[in-house]
Amino acid sequence: MFAAAALIMVWCVIGHDLWVLGRSANTDLDQLGDWSVRADLRPRLLVLAFGLFLTFFVWRLVRLLQRAEHQAAARIALQRLIVDHASEAMMVTDRAQRILSINAAFTAITGYEPEDVLGKTPTRLSADHHGLSVHRNIWDFVAENACWEGEIWDRRKDGTIYPKQMRITAICEDGIQISHYVAVFSDISESKAQAQRLEYLAHHDPLTNLPNRLALDAHLQMVINSAVPGIDRMALLIIDLDNFKTVNDSLGHQSGDRLLGELARRMGGQIAGNQRLFRLGGDEFVIFIEQLPSEEAVIELSNRLIRVIGEPSEIDGHSLHMTPSIGISLYPEDGRDALALIRNADTAMYYAKASGRANYKFFAEPMNVAATKRLHLESELWRALADNQLVLHYQPQIDLLSGKVVGVEALVRWRHPTRGLIGPAEFIPVAEECGLILPLGHWVLLTACRQVKGWLDQGIDMGEMAVNISAHQFRQAEFAQSVRAILAETGLPASRLELEITESTIMHGVDEAIETMTELRGMGLRLAIDDFGTGYSSLAYLRRFPLDRLKIDRSFLADVDTDSDAASLLTSIVLLGRSLGLQLVAEGVENVAQAEFLRTLECERVQGFHFYQPVSAEEVVGYGGFGLFAALPA
């Protein structure tokens, strides 16, 4: 660089002198001999300065060029680095699709080294998964449209195939003709597997590994969409386990889960190729039968399900016996879409439950009419409570020896604005199902206590007030406290209150029941078992419970005057009850013969139409203190 600068300077000085000499020769040839002496120093210095400037200029130019060259090289190196370290594979081809360059990710994903692929066409390396024509079509598409993006299966060097997400772009260096293609792709096997896992989780129940409600909807939609109503027949079975909640409540959720897993496995063992088992949630399962040969096939399957579910299950040291209630809807008669089929099978399942459980029911249209009626009743009942349409009637209990009224039972009625007086048998079960029984039960208890306290305050002694308590009410954690609060609010002495509970109420969760009963009796009130004999408990079992009275169900009184077996059954119940130290009440005494028979058994208390019907509070006070067979109501 400096040599070039010196050379430029020397040439500048010599050039200048020659130019000066040239000019002098034209004017004065005498000066030729001593030009060096007479030549003026200033122009030389000027020339020297010009030379120096020129040198500097050239030097700067060269430096700039060098720097630009370095920067370009660094940029290329960086780009190479980026390409080589990119996680996406890259491949550049010429216009004839011969591979010119690949990056490290290409090798990592495909297993092909540069020497394997350079100069070859990508199509030749590709999988047979789609066939060569698909690959060719893609490249043809890019040639026409400049770009293609999508998912494609390809083959690695080791022969394995994998899915990849790829984008191919055509490059035109001159802006007119395609000169290169650039393909960028990534291996999506992992994300595809992940998506499949998520898809599986979204459509399956983790406890039983069975497809879930979402999967059922999708499956039904798919099958029904391609079905021909006149030709294809299908069936949908909803299988609900009876009393499964009791298992969860008494043995805990883990045992409940194990039982569900075991029963799901058994049900799965009963289905064939065109039948599928789903878990709707909780203890509800669905079996869907595509291409139903006949209704007999559904009946046969239902019977098998009832049998295998009914076999004992050994769970955590307990031998559990379950039963299912099965509702069946058929395509196309009971529904032409998933929603209708599920809804109608569900309605049929409720009928199966209502008609004794452990059985199956085919859907029938009247069931829907009844279901709608029930829904209507439910909404009306909520309003009834708010609008004070409920009233209490009272049925006296008589002491057989003295013939006096010794107590009354409060029985709720609904004074319906258009239908008149409705009995509890019609609406108490509805209230129990929809949760209304809790406010309703509270209202009954409060009203009954107020009533008997009001009588006492007026000097009217009607004996004890018996109030029916439903299972839901009794099992509330704060039930005993709410009774205590009502007694405190009304000021009624606890000894005047008797609570009637049924056997089934106390047979579920025996320890909790005993605890509540002990607390209630501790307050001083009485406890009676209602409808005794209709539940499953044995008299010996009842010994465990703190009880005062048994109310013998009226079914035991039915034929006592004509049937000796009935008479001896009633006799033994009375004797056993007495041996347990319990007081007895016979319900549903309808005639003199029954009353006489009870008198011979020395059953002290009776209640029944033979004596009094349930009547309003105003009416019942008129019966207080009447003699045994006197003044029977019409």
Q: Which is nearer to ligand C2E, 309 or 595 (CB)?
A: 595
Does 89 participate in binding ligand C2E (rule CB under 6 A)? no
As to burial, measured by CB atoms within 10 angstroms (0-12 exposed, 13-18 middle, 19+ buried), residue 21 is middle
| Residue 537 interacts with, from ligand C2E, Mg ion, none (CB under 5-8 Å by kind) | none
As to burial, measured by CB atoms within 10 angstroms (0-12 exposed, 13-18 middle, 19+ buried), residue 220 is buried
As to burial, measured by CB atoms within 10 angstroms (0-12 exposed, 13-18 middle, 19+ buried), residue 619 is middle
Does 590 participate in binding ligand C2E (rule CB under 6 A)? yes
Rounded CA gap, 154 and 111, in Å? Answer: 12
Q: Is-contact 376 368, C-beta < 8 A?
A: no
Question: How would you label 129-167 residue by residue, b for 16+ Cβ within 10 Å and e otherwise?
Answer: eeeeeebeebbeebeeeeebeeebebbeeeeeebbbbbe
The encoded tokens of residue 18 equal 């020659």
Instruction: Report helix angle 365-386 to 424-434, nearest 10.
Output: 90
Of the ranges 180-188, 424-432, 532-540, 542-550, which one interacts with ligand C2E (CB under 6 A)? 424-432
Q: What is residue 349's three-state secondary structure?
A: helix
Does 205 participate in binding Mg ion (rule CB under 5 A)? no
| Residue 324 interacts with, from Mg ion, ligand C2E, none (CB under 5-8 Å by kind) | none
Q: Which is nearer to Mg ion, 285 or 427 (CB)?
A: 427
Does 90 participate in binding ligand C2E (rule CB under 6 A)? no
Question: Rule CB under 5 A: which of 447-476 touch Mg ion?
Answer: 468
Question: Rule CB under 6 A: which of 513-532 touch ligand C2E?
Answer: 530-531
What is the smallest separation between the CB atom of 346 and ligand C2E, expressed in angstroms? 27
Residues 6+ apart with CB under 8 A from 589: 554, 557, 595, 598, 606, 607, 608, 609, 610, 611
Segment holding 288, helix H or strand E: strand 284-289
Does 154 participate in binding Mg ion (rule CB under 5 A)? no
**Nearest one of 21, 24, 19 to 50, comparing CA atoms:** 19
What is the smallest separation between the CB atom of 586 and ligand C2E, expressed in angstroms? 10
Q: How many CA atoms lie within 13 A of 622 on its CB side?
A: 12
Does 347 participate in binding ligand C2E (rule CB under 6 A)? no
Site string for ligand C2E, 377-416 (x = CB under 6 A): ------------------x---------------xx----
Q: Is-contact 532 551, C-beta < 8 A?
A: yes
Site string for Mg ion, 493-532 (x = CB under 5 A): -------x-----------------------------xx-
Does 588 participate in binding ligand C2E (rule CB under 6 A)? yes
Of the ranges 141-149, 340-348, 353-361, 585-593, which one interacts with ligand C2E (CB under 6 A)? 585-593
Question: Rule CB under 6 A: which of 446-485 touch ligand C2E?
Answer: 468, 470
Rounded CA gap, 304 and 296, in Å? Answer: 12
Out of 15, 423, 522, 625, the residue judged to bind ligand C2E by CB under 6 A: 423
Does 585 participate in binding ligand C2E (rule CB under 6 A)? no
Of the ranges 182-190, 305-313, 336-344, 607-615, which one interacts with ligand C2E (CB under 6 A)? 607-615
Q: Where does this chain bind ligand C2E (CB under 6 A)?
A: 395, 411-412, 423-425, 428, 441, 444, 468, 470, 500, 530-531, 554, 587-590, 607-609, 614
Q: Where does this chain bind Mg ion (CB under 5 A)?
A: 468, 500, 530-531, 587
